[in-house]
Amino acid sequence: MEQPFLAALRDRVLLADGAMGTLLHARGVPTTACLDAQVLDQPDIVRRVHEDYIAAGADVIETDTFGANRFRLARYGLAGKVREINFRAARLARDAREISGHPVFVAGAVGPSGRLLGTVGDIRPEEVRAAFREQAEALLEGGVDVIILETFPDIAELREAVLAVKVGCDLPIVAQMTFQRDGRTMGGEPPDEVANVAATLGADVAGINCSLGPQSAVEVVEQMSAQTSIRLSAMPNAGLPKFMDRRLVYPSTPEYFADYTRKLVEAGANIVGGCCGTTPEHTAAMREALQGEWNARGGGRSTLAARPPQLVRISPVPSHDASGDAADAAGARRSLRQKLAEGEFVVSVELDPPRGLNPRKALEGAAHLAALGADCINIGDSPMARVRMSAIALAVLIEREAGVEPIIHFTSRDRNLMAIQSDLLGAHALGVRNVIALTGDPPSAGDYARATGVWDVDSIGLIKIMKTLNEGADWAGNSIGKGTEFFVACAANPTADDVDVEVERVRRKLEAGADVLMTQQIYSCDVLRSFLERLGPVDVPLLVGVMPLQSHRHTEFIHNELAGVFVPEPVRERMRLAGENGRAEGIAQAAELLEECRPYVQGAYLVPSFGRYEVVGELVAQAKRGA
């Protein structure tokens, strides 16, 4: 089986990343610091550099190990940390790849020893070879896919490096040297000689990096390609730098680099990238240029043509409007977040997932409610501690089949910290954005009395986890790459037995970052007003919970047997007097309640009893008309 990096190189031009040191300095690492040691001292900064280059479209990212050989590290008293630094650097780059989900190659960067070789030098060739082998073996152990030897000024030292890598591992080798303005190395070797020596030694790619800008790099590549069959690489600097305000400033813009990317490919480069002074913006411009080169050639295979980046991009599940109205199709429909931000009165309806495999009833209910004007569907997370279909799975089905936005209930009852974050990331990848953070009913309250709850965190901790994910990190502070976009709701119970305790918890939920507040069902606007007075000013949208009563018997059950819910005596009396017309009376009272609460809320959260979504259908329409 052909080595994956070489197979990819045979099929297309690969785009390497840009400068590491330039970005580390720009992000606060002192110029006097050991850049290679940042993989131990500030790993998050290094990983974010990798992530930024991957996001920009790089196919190859280089480890932060250019100077991580025993000689260069000795200058910082770190000669004994060669293995630790190189291994950790490879792992950081691999972590960035895994976080991004993009199939990039991780290249172990190996720079020159920093010592002089030869009869006038201060070190013997075998010592240099041992140092390079030590570094290459650590990079191999860390899991790199290829070794890039770069910025070598001396062909004799490049020879030692190639031979050392070939002994230390069986990875592909990219051998790059620096060239002076006259187009030759410091030792006077012309480009074609460098390429032929690299090929003879067994390198897989020869090339140029650093020292020169894109224009001179084209000339070097042209000379190499004219005299050798080895694959070629070019990673020039962003022009010749100048000192300004005590720092190096590189003049070449991303647009200029993009122009020369095409010229480098036409000259024969199979790998293109950047060195000092280049940034993710340069990489993105080069990616766009390679894409244009591919399109210009009609998409056919060519060693000079750049294939479109093979990046895995997961898009939200496409919506389909069950009613056939194209206005609600994906891309045109406004989200719950947008509607609330624009001041629209929103209506959400709760549907329970099925107890078995067939979601038909829930899907039909969602489609029916969407046609009546419901803005979103709330989906319970095994409510009442009874086993039901996954809320995440049903949310995806509703989004796809009914074309209405879901809000999933998500409890911390059934998941430990790892499972909470894994499930949330999976839900986000499937397009779920709206989540109500709940602690969850105890298992003993449901069908599984012997089951145990987990509760590593409660609803407040769950909100904090989602807001941390939104910032691009997991609960332990590890980067997840691009942050999630969860719109986080929290619950409030205005009729709680101890309202003061409930008020304090709601305040903590809001402080944790909840984006919207949704109350449990109430049956009196006075109760809502009293609760809001105790809670104080709320700067997030509020949706009031309403469950239409069905009958006098249902009313008495709600009042006497449903913990934390209070039905005022006047409401109970009206339901008693309604007799057989209890359902109509319940809808009428719910409509009255909504109108009374409208000045204090931005939407309604409707809960149908016994899963009878058709009962709240009329209320949905009334609520939207009233808005």
Give residue-wise pLDDT tens across range 144-196.
999 999 999 999 999 999 999 999 888 999 999 999 988 999 889 999 999 99
- The pLDDT of residue 330: 43
* 361 shares a domain with 242: no
Q: Is 89 exposed, middle or buried (0-12, 13-18, 19+ CB in 10 A)?
A: buried
3-class state of residue 519 by DSSP: strand
> What are the residues whose beta carbons fall under 8 Å from the beta carbon of 220, sequence distance 6 or more?
179, 183, 191, 208, 212, 234
Residue 180 within any structural domain of the chain: yes
* 175 shares a domain with 40: yes
486 pLDDT more than 60:
yes
- The pLDDT of residue 332: 61
Give the pLDDT mean for 471-498: 92
Give the pLDDT mean for 383-398: 86
- The pLDDT of residue 382: 76
* 29 shares a domain with 147: yes
Q: Name the least confident of 261-270, 419-428, 575-584.
A: 575-584
Residue 303 within any structural domain of the chain: no
- The pLDDT of residue 231: 97
- The pLDDT of residue 119: 52
Residue 286 within any structural domain of the chain: yes
More confident residue, 302 or 592: 592
- The pLDDT of residue 448: 53
- The pLDDT of residue 85: 98
β-pairing, 146-152 vs 173-177, is parallel
Match 């999933």 to its residue by tokens.
408
For residues 59, 60, 64, 70, the Cα torsion angle rounded to the nearest 10 degrees is 170
Give residue-wise pLDDT tens across range 5-31.
999 999 999 999 999 999 999 999 998
303 pLDDT more than 90:
no
Helices (H), 234-388: 254-267, 280-296, 336-341, 360-372
pLDDT band at 627 (very low <50, low <70, confident <90, very high): low
Give the pLDDT mean for 197-225: 95
Mean pLDDT of the chain: 88
Using alpha carbons only, what angle is made at residue 573 by residues 570 and 577, rounded to the nearest 5 degrees?
140
- The pLDDT of residue 564: 72
- The pLDDT of residue 384: 65
414 pLDDT more than 90:
no
Task: State the Cα–Cα distance between residues 482 and 429, nearest whole angstrom.
Answer: 12
- The pLDDT of residue 2: 76
* 505 shares a domain with 378: yes
pLDDT band at 383 (very low <50, low <70, confident <90, very high): confident
Give the pLDDT mean for 99-113: 93
Give residue-wise pLDDT tens across range 123-136.
888 999 999 999 99
33 pLDDT more than 70:
yes
β-pairing, 242-244 vs 247-249, is antiparallel
Task: State the Cα–Cα distance between residues 17 and 9, nearest whole angstrom.
Answer: 15
465 pLDDT more than 80:
yes
With a pLDDT cut of 90, the percent of the chain lying above it is 69
619 pLDDT more than 80:
yes
Task: State the Cα–Cα distance between residues 501 and 493, nearest whole angstrom.
Answer: 10
Task: State the Cα–Cα distance between residues 194 and 155, nearest whole angstrom.
Answer: 7
More confident residue, 432 or 332: 432
Tokens of 137: 């073996």
- The pLDDT of residue 55: 94
312 pLDDT more than 50:
no
- The pLDDT of residue 565: 82
* 154 shares a domain with 77: yes
> What are the residues whose beta carbons fall under 8 Å from the beta carbon of 215, sequence distance 6 or more?
260
* 331 shares a domain with 212: no
Residue 304 within any structural domain of the chain: no
Task: State the Cα–Cα distance between residues 145 and 148, nearest whole angstrom.
Answer: 10
* 286 shares a domain with 235: yes
pLDDT band at 388 (very low <50, low <70, confident <90, very high): confident
Q: What is the CATH number of the domain that holds 220?
A: 3.20.20.330
Query: Among 279, 296, 313, which residue terminates a domain?
Result: 296
Helices (H), 516-612: 525-535, 552-561, 569-578, 582-597
Secondary structure element (H or E) that encloses residue 149, with its range: strand 146-152
SS3 track for 23-34: HHHHCCCCCCCC
Q: What is the CATH number of the domain that holds 587?
A: 3.20.20.220
* 540 shares a domain with 440: yes
* 112 shares a domain with 60: yes
Task: State the Cα–Cα distance between residues 432 and 422, nearest whole angstrom.
Answer: 13
572 pLDDT more than 50:
yes
Task: State the Cα–Cα distance between residues 389 and 358, nearest whole angstrom.
Answer: 9
- The pLDDT of residue 385: 63
- The pLDDT of residue 161: 97
pLDDT band at 291 (very low <50, low <70, confident <90, very high): confident
Give the pLDDT mean for 262-270: 96
624 pLDDT more than 90:
no
* 345 shares a domain with 291: no
Residue 301 within any structural domain of the chain: no
Tokens of 189: 């070797």
Number of domains in the chain: 2
Single pTM value for the model: 0.71
Tokens of 184: 């030759």
258 pLDDT more than 60:
yes
Domain containing residue 248 = 4-296
With a pLDDT cut of 70, the percent of the chain lying above it is 89
pLDDT band at 121 (very low <50, low <70, confident <90, very high): low
* 255 shares a domain with 354: no
Tokens of 50: 């990798």
**If phi over 0 gives left and psi between -120 and 50 gives alpha, with beta otherwise, what is residue 431?**
left
- The pLDDT of residue 308: 39
Task: State the Cα–Cα distance between residues 260 and 406, nearest whole angstrom.
Answer: 48
Residue 315 within any structural domain of the chain: no
Give residue-wise pLDDT tens across range 526-560.
999 999 999 999 999 999 999 999 888 889 888 88
> What are the residues whose beta carbons fall under 8 Å from the beta carbon of 355, sequence distance 6 or more?
386, 387, 388, 389
Residue 310 within any structural domain of the chain: no
Residue 534 within any structural domain of the chain: yes
* 372 shares a domain with 285: no
453 pLDDT more than 80:
no
3-class state of residue 235 by DSSP: strand
β partners of residue 208: 177, 234
